[in-house]
Amino acid sequence: MQRISRREFVKRTAVTGAMLTSVTSIQAFLAACNTSTSTSSKPSKLTIAAVQGAEDGPLKKVAPMYQSQSGITIEVVEFPYDQLFEKLVTTFQANGSSYDLCMMDDPWMPKFGTMGALQPLDTNFGFTRDADIPSIVYDVGTWPPPNGPVPPTEQGKSPHLYGITIVGNVEMFMYRKDLSSSPPTTWDDVLANAKKFNKSGFSGYVIRGKATNPASSDSLPILWSFGGDIFDANWKVMLDSTASIDAITFLTQTLKKYAEPGAENTDAADRDRLIAIGHAFQSTTWPAEVTGVVEAQGVSQVIGKMGYIPIPQGPSGKGIGMMGNWLLGIPKGSHNGSYAAAFIKWLIQADNMKTYVQNGGIPTRTSLLNDPTLGQANPYFPALAKSLAAPPNWRPRTDQWNAVETIYGTAVNQAVAGLKSPKDALTAAASQIRTTMKQAGYPS
């Protein structure tokens, strides 16, 4: 047994600590540089970065089926909405290989497409369009966008499919069909019903007016249905146009008279609660809100009392829903691209998608949306099928969308709260958006 002095012991400990620190630093540096090597052998598992909530629940439920069929484990790593986006952006910036698949909200596609963060599913893995799935569903996963304005940096690039929708979200409209004999077809009908049914403790309309994303999502279908928009076909900002101001005035002043108290702080959960306890007549809605709360057994008091329809028509003569599809894509850094692609193909096969729907999934296949058996458990399916066929709008396909949404959603919130008139709020927002877009190289 070798004896060492206390001084020697301290010295050795210090040296060991210093070496460990150095090794850790070098490892961290190497990891940051992504020096790992790729493998093409069959992986034991595929890792999916997913959004936590109703959107990824069905995916987790069908994952074991795939494991039993293929022998590959599907590991779903969940993040809250905002964190998932930030996590993916930082992972893509580092070209990391942490995830073989990622769930993406459709407004994220421009950012990821511009970054070149994803592997093309058509050229790399042979994905083709299926006639049972509406074209818009493939279009939303294509970059650069096959129609509408294309960001200046992306013009001239050939479009490729980078994402496949697994949650066919489209914003719709819900109302109390037990109280009204016919569904509203226009926003004037919506206003008339709001007036008619509004009383103490029962709101004629629910505005989801919390600042930024909620206010933006709630108001965009109205903006579009009134003929307004944020950009025209050449990226010129038209948020301060008469049609846009009229739309936001209608929402934040005319309709607000019959809306719930505290509309400027209402988010989706608050809206669902008001509807589910029978304290409100109508509002816009997303499928996940319907399945998660409004039609959920043991939660809602209005099961079977709600009617679901596409977004009502505005003065433009159109009722335009908003897409909120969740897509699956394969990060460029993934070393298991072909296996990840095989999983996506498996998931969207008609029979597997049916199982997925039976587990709470929101389908994109028209045959499933119009399936009467599935429709009984999901009363909004016919409205969703119509909304997808309409087709709905997607949010402007620019990598600046998050910034634009923050500015626009704050302006709408200011108008809902009465801090500014709709005209002043939109004029200021339009100016800010012009500056932002100009700095990003857009011809605003």
Partner 1 sequence: MSRLVAEPPTPTAPQPVRVGRRRRSRQERLAYLILLPALGTVFVIVTIPFILVLMQSISADDGTLVGLRNFSRALGNPLLYDALRATGVYTLIVLPTEILLGLTFALLVHRTVRRSGVRAAVYVLAIVPLVVPPVAIGVVARLIYAPSYGVLNVILERLGLLHQEINWLGNPTLAMLSVASVDVWQWTPFVYLVLFSGLQTVPRESVEAAQLDGATWWTQFLYIEFSYLRPLFLLILFFRLADVLRVFDHIFILTGGGPGTTTQLLSLYMYRIEFKFFDSGQAAALAVIVLVSISILYALITRVLPLERE
CB 128 within 8 A of CB 122: yes
Which letter does DSSP use for residue 205 in this model? B
Q: Binding residue for partner 1 (CB under 8 A) from 157, 273, 335, 345?
A: 273
Give, in order, the Cα–Cα distances in Å from 85 to each of 78, 80, 159, 402.
Answer: 11, 9, 23, 11
Ramachandran class of 227: left when φ > 0, alpha when ψ lies in -120 to 50, beta otherwise = left
Q: Which is nearer to partner 1, 85 or 286 (CB)?
A: 85
Annotate 325-343 with DSSP letters as a single string. Answer: -EEEE-BTT-S-HHHHHHH
Q: Choose, by CB under 8 A, the member of 58, 163, 183, 214 that binds partner 1.
A: 214
Q: Judging by beta carbons within 10 Å of its beta carbon (0-12, 13-18, 19+), is residue 25 exposed, middle or buried? A: exposed
Q: How far is the CB of 110 from partner 1 (least distance, A)?
A: 11
95 touching partner 1, by CB under 8 A: no
Q: Tell me which H or E stretch contains 354.
A: helix 350-358
For residues 13 and 40, which CB has a smaller minimum distance to partner 1 in the complex? 13
Decide: 310 and 390 in contact? Cβ < 8 Å.
yes
Residue keyed to tokens 């970065």 = 49
248 binds partner 1 (CB under 8 A): no
Q: Nearest distance from residue 271's CB to partner 1, in Å?
A: 10
The residues, any chain, with a CB within 8 Å of residue 33's CB and separated by 6 or more, are none
30 counts as binding partner 1 under rule CB under 8 A: no
| 363 contacts 369 by C-beta, under 8 angstroms | yes
In 126-249, where does DSSP find H-type helix? Answer: 135-140, 187-197, 213-225, 242-249
Number of residues that bind partner 1 (CB under 8 A): 56
Cα separation of 69 and 72, whole Å? Answer: 8
Residue closer to partner 1 by CB (options 38, 90) is 90
Choosing from 100, 264, 272, 289, the residue that interacts with partner 1 (CB under 8 A) is: 264
Report if residue 7 touches partner 1, rule: CB under 8 A. Answer: yes
Please list, residue by residue across 292-311, b when 16 or more beta carbons sit within 10 angstroms of its beta carbon and e when fewer do.
bbbbeeeebebeebbbbbbb
Q: Does 266 bind partner 1 (CB under 8 A)?
A: yes
Q: Which stretch binds partner 1 (CB under 8 A): 80-88, 121-129, 232-240, 352-360?
A: 80-88
Contacts (CB under 8 A) with partner 1, residues 100-159: 111
Per CB under 8 A, 261 contacts partner 1: yes
Residue 185: which residues within 8 A CB-CB, separation 6 or more?
Answer: 312, 313, 319
Please state, in angstroms and rounded to a whole number, the distance separating the CA atoms of residues 259 and 268: 14
Residue 15 contacts partner 1 per CB under 8 A: yes
Per CB under 8 A, the segment of 21-29, 171-179, 377-385, 390-398 that binds partner 1 is 21-29
Residue 265 binds to partner 1 (criterion: CB under 8 A): yes
Task: Using the minimum distance from each CB to partner 1, give the nearer residue, 100 or 399.
Answer: 399
C-alpha span between 54 and 58 (Å, rounded): 8
**Residue 24 contacts partner 1 per CB under 8 A:** yes
Q: Is 274 in the site for partner 1 (CB under 8 A)?
A: yes
Q: Does 14 bind partner 1 (CB under 8 A)?
A: yes
Q: Which of 82, 95, 129, 147 binds partner 1 (CB under 8 A)?
A: 82
Q: Site mask, partner 1, residues 424-443, x = CB under 8 A?
A: ------------x-------
Looking at 218, 240, 246, 270, which residue binds partner 1 (CB under 8 A)?
270
Q: How far is the CB of 423 from partner 1 (least distance, A)?
A: 15
φ, ψ for residue 361 (rounded to 5)? Answer: -75, 160
The nearer residue to partner 1, 2 or 234, going by C-beta atoms, is 2
Among the residue ranges 241-249, 261-269, 289-297, 339-347, the one whose residues contact partner 1 (CB under 8 A): 261-269
Nearest to 161 by CA among 177, 139, 187: 139
86 touching partner 1, by CB under 8 A: yes
The angle subtended at Cα 91 by Cα 121 and Cα 102, nearest 5°, is 40
Q: Nearer to partner 1 by C-beta: 155 or 200?
A: 200
For helices 350-358 and 57-70, give the axis angle rounded to 10 degrees.
130
Site residues for partner 1, 377-416, by CB under 8 A, read 399-400, 402-403, 405-406, 410, 413-414, 416
Q: Which stretch binds partner 1 (CB under 8 A): 42-50, 183-191, 223-231, 273-281?
A: 273-281
Could you list the residues that contact partner 1 (CB under 8 A)?
1-7, 9-11, 13-15, 17-18, 20-22, 24-25, 28, 82, 85-86, 89, 111, 210-212, 214, 260-267, 270, 273-274, 279, 399-400, 402-403, 405-406, 410, 413-414, 416-417, 419-420, 436
